[in-house]
Structure 1
Amino acid sequence: MAWILLIIAGLFEMLAVIMMNQWHRQKSKTVLSFMIASFALSFLFLSNALETIPMSMGYAIWTGIGAAGGAIVGILFYNESKSAKRIFFIALIILAVVGLKLLG
């Protein structure tokens, strides 16, 4: 169950980063509210997951989900660079997260 909570925390982290990007485009109270709520839910789920999962592993995986997910969303929806090097390094982040899960 803790791993599911950690994945949910990572997904809320991604959503918070998307909302942060949206906030720079459109400064509205709705976007700001969604951003704050997303960060709060991300930290809540992370906190619950870290009751079982070691902090070093949980934090690294949570950060990896947020970083890789944010980069993928940027590529798919915000017309950010799709260079082979960028995709390679995003894949490395994903492989590192999977590797940490397999070792844990």
Structure 2
Amino acid sequence: MAWISLILAGLCEMFGVAMISKLHKDRNWQTLVILILGFGASFILLAYSMKTLPMGTAYAIWTGIGASGGAILGMVLYGESSDWKRIVFISMVLGAAVGLKLVA
């Protein structure tokens, strides 16, 4: 259950990052509330997963999902560069997260 909550925490982190970009464009209180809820859920789920998982592993995987997911969302939703070098490094981040899962 800890791994599921950690993955959900990373997805909520991605959502929060996407809402930051949306807030820059829309500047309304609804977007701000959704942003706060996304990051709040992310921290709550991360804290829950850290009851079972080692802090270093949980934090590394959480940030890896958030960072790589944010970069992918930027490419898909906001037209950011998607050249092969970015894809390679995003893959390396995700591969490191999988590696941590295998050894934890």
Relative to the length of structure 1, the TM-score reads 0.98
Partner of 2:83: 83
Counterpart for residue 35 of structure 1: 35
Corresponding residue of 1:5: 5
Which residue of structure 2 aligns with residue 65 of structure 1?
Answer: 65
| Alpha-carbon offset, residue 29 of structure 1 | 0.5
How many Å separate the matches in 1 of 2:25 and 2:99?
A: 36
CA distance in 1, matches of 2:75, 2:93: 15
| Match of residue 97 from structure 2 | 97
Q: Distance in 1 between matches of 2:22 and 2:38?
A: 13
Residue type matched to 2:33 in 1? S
Question: What is the CA deviation profile of residues 18-51 of structure 1, one whole-angstrom value per residue up to 9, with x for unaligned ones?
Answer: 0001111110101000000001000000000000
Matched residue count? 104
Offset from partner CA, 1:36-80 (integer Å, 9 cap, x none):
000100000000000000000000000000000001111111100
Unmatched segments (≥5 aa) in structure 1? none
Separation in structure 2 between the aligned mates of residue 28 and residue 93 of structure 1, nearest angstrom: 33
Runs of 4+ residues over 2 Å off in structure 1: none
Give the structure 2 partner of residue 14 of structure 1: 14
Shift of 1:10: 0.4
Secondary structure of the corresponding residue to residue 27 of structure 2: coil
**Identity, % of aligned pairs?**
49
User: Aligned AA for 2:41?
Assistant: L
Aligned to 2:96, what secondary structure does the other structure show?
A: helix
Q: What TM-score does the superposition give when structure 2 sets the normalisation length?
A: 0.98
